[in-house]
Homo-oligomer: A and B are copies of this chain.
Amino acid sequence: MNPFSIYTAKTDDSKLRRACLECDLVDMCFPKGVATSDRLHMKSKVFRAGPYYHGELVFRKGDRFFAIYAVREGSVKNVFSERNGRERIIGFNFPGEVFGFEAIANGVYPNDCVALETTTLCALPFDAVQEFSLRYPHIFSEFIRLMSREMLSQTECGLAAGAKKRLAAFLLSASMRLKNKNTDPDCITLSMTRQDIAYHLGIAPETLSRLFADMEKNHVLAVQGKSVQFLNRKRLEALID
User: A residues near B, CB below 8 A?
Assistant: 80, 82-84, 88, 90, 101-106, 110-111, 130, 133-134, 137, 140-141, 143-145, 147-152, 154-156, 158-159, 161, 202, 241
Contact = CB atoms under 8 A, between A and B. Distances in A.
B202 A148 contact: no
Contacts of A133: 133-134, 140
B148 A104 contact: yes
Contacts of A101: 147-148, 151
Nearest to A135: B134
A110 B156 CA distance: 9
B202 A152 contact: no
A144 B104 contact: yes
B241 A104 contact: no
Contacts of A149: 105
A101 B146 CA distance: 11
B143 A144 contact: yes
A48 to B, nearest CB: 24
B105 A145 contact: yes
A114 to B, nearest CB: 16
A90 B158 contact: yes
A88 to B, nearest CB: 6
B84 A152 contact: no
B82 A148 contact: no
Given A141-B130, A159-B159, A148 B148 contact: no
A88 B161 CA distance: 10
A225 to B, nearest CB: 27
A150 B151 contact: yes
30 contacts: A80-B155, A80-B156, A80-B158, A82-B241, A83-B241, A88-B158, A101-B151, A102-B152, A104-B144, A104-B145, A104-B147, A105-B149, A110-B152, A110-B155, A110-B156, A111-B155, A130-B137, A130-B140, A130-B141, A133-B134, A133-B140, A134-B140, A144-B147, A147-B148, A151-B154, A154-B154, A154-B155, A159-B159, A159-B202, A161-B202
Contacts of A159: 88, 159, 202
Contacts of A90: 155, 158
B202 A105 contact: no
Contacts of A103: 148
